[in-house]
Structure 1
């Protein structure tokens, strides 16, 4: 199971009008510890940022699963309640799970979520879907594939 960390990176970004603006952008990385998360985000961001940058925050992200869509440029956080029946009391019990879905817009995020949840045997309901400010996501598998590739 992946351990997701949200890392905020502070740097001077060149805007489309040619001006430089200080930004503090969030990214998501898969890592085993806070230290590894910071090291991974520094490694991932170094080729893309000219000049100095710093990691301003690292915190655990409560994400249980990710659904990728290469055509999407945004990330949506979906709260999905899994419904189970309590054997003793006979009452329904809802367990919240947070899933990140990549999509180009809100409608596509709903479609992607439904498509990926199609094989789920458990009863569930979608409680909410919100767009996140995440700029990019770096899963561990993608990192190890890059390192294995001959240059």
Structure 2
């Protein structure tokens, strides 16, 4: 039996104009997929990179806010302590002045303020010169 001897039958029915419309249908589907793929990376990048970055920044701001608020609250607590109570506490402890100064960080303004409070002398330069001269004369 030869191939030419077989009768030709149309097995499939094709709608009229199908092959004329086929290229347009394929191009429409390709364009639709391109639109879908271009919108997906934006969302993917947003969730993949932007969301964790926003979370890290939020946590950092919260941590920074808490750490910066602690010194002001400590200073507020120390300001509420009466000077007499502080003196009593320091007298009760066996800390020497040297040990106390090791833990204190004082600048020049703090030292001057402490000296003024302890000694309470408001002497001008002339008075200091006179007192110094008298002390030198007395020591001879």
Q: Please classify the TM superposition score into its range, dividing by the shorter chain length.
A: under 0.3
**Higher radius of gyration, 1 or 2:** 2
TM-score (norm: length of structure 1):
0.13
Q: Which structure dedicates a bigger proportion of its chain to helix?
A: 2
Q: Which structure dedicates a bigger proportion of its chain to strand?
A: 1
Q: Which has the higher contact order (CA 8 A, sep 6+)?
A: 1
